[in-house]
Amino acid sequence: MVVTGHRIDVPLDWNEPSGRQISVHAREVVAAEHAGDASRPAIVWFQGGPGHEVAFPDHRGSWLEQLLTRYRVLLLDQRGTGLSTPLEARSLPVSDPVALGDYLRNFRQDSIVRDADRFRTTLYGKDTDWYIFGQSFGGFCSLTYLSTLPEHVRGVIITGGFAPVLHETEEICRRLFNHVATRNADYYARFPGDAARVRRIVDHLESGNEVDGHGLRLSARRFLMLGVKLGLQHGAAELHGIIERADNDLEQLHVLSGVVHAHVAGTMSPATNPIYTVLHEAAYSNGPATRWAAERARLADPRYALDAQPVPYFTGEAVFPWMLDEVRELQPLRDVANVLAEHDGWPALYDIPRLRANKVPVVGTVYWDDEYVERTMALETVSLLGNCRPWITNEYEHGAYRVDPARVAGRLFSMLDDLTARG
């Protein structure tokens, strides 16, 4: 494959195009055998997130290989990630939390899609059409793109990212926690012996001073965030292995091993990205302040209480305010995160009438047991979106495009071609 880096300058605030500028980077990837074929259509890749960067494409494989059979692939480093003007908690661009909040409010989907469209016009010409691929949060970006700039979009593929466009953050978090509770029930039905193990681990973490090799204390509520693994293809088995190891550690060592601490740290690693931490809930808001909706949903559901019997439930993907105290890497973001949680008046991310009237062919997956994008809200979005054909499946979890890329791609490409042919 041929990989070419591109960088453009864009407004920090698209409402002030002549104001402060930042840079956005993207890599165009073309199959070597098609490098000279300028007629191959382009597709922009919207990464999951928010705030996750796209790794350098070090080989032809997985989903990228499938896309290269049909497209020139533009791997966009969404603003603030990768080689775009970066954000790092240890080197924030503004010290005052209110001013920093004003800066960071420009890093949601509405800005990301405008950056992408600027790349379209810069690289391919203002009248050139292209395709969109959105994985997870990238699907949210895709729907914002269709809401604001659909004129040059030929088709859209969304995997596990049909955003809950009809609901606000409060309701979304409440439903997600209720759904994650069903995943917990399924987990303990599959591994019934883990209820006693988790109870022992939680009691140990609450009563003792369990610290890792760096002297940082591990709390029970942070340990229970391992529940994010329940949304992976083999995540329940992986979680069971960690629980077995942790219980064995307590039995023989009376402390948790470095291996277990490393699993928890790995689960927390996405949160060390500033955008993920401070805009995770804002990525759902079409106006109202989020006010730490996930934490309020957790506290309101007794199944997640640390003293719940027989065992507290694991939490899923969420950002909680106490993480900004407990995780050293996040502490510089504490004040601005609170500022943004109280911000009222976010711009709308979606144009519902325009989505209903959409004519652009859209295909995608809705995973029946998806832990991260709750299915009933995803299906509502599918139902309202014009010219959309979903593949609703319980065969896969959220990351199916990596687990079985050839089959998933083949199915979605066929659906997109059929929907396009029907006009």
Is 207 labeled as catalytic in the residue annotation? no
Q: Is the Cα torsion angle 388, 54, 267, 232 positive or negative in sign?
A: positive
Helix ranges restricted to H, 214-318: 220-223, 235-252, 258-268, 274-279, 293-300
Is-contact 103 73, C-beta < 8 A?
A: no
In 3-state terms, what secondary structure has residue 3?
Answer: strand
Spatial CA neighbour of 377 closest among 77, 109, 127, 169: 169
Question: Tokens in use for 30?
Answer: 């073309």
Is 383 labeled as catalytic in the residue annotation? no
Ramachandran angles phi, psi of 90, nearest 5°? -85, -5
Is-contact 297 350, C-beta < 8 A?
A: no
Is-contact 160 136, C-beta < 8 A?
A: yes
Catalytic option among 77, 110, 247, 370: 370
Catalytic option among 84, 111, 136, 147: 136
* Distances, alpha carbon 250 to alpha carbons 187, 243, 334, in Å: 22, 11, 33
In 3-state terms, what secondary structure has residue 29?
Answer: strand
Is 136 labeled as catalytic in the residue annotation? yes
Q: Using CA atoms, how far apart are residues 237 and 128, in angstroms rounded to an integer?
A: 47
Positions annotated as catalytic residues are 136, 370, 398
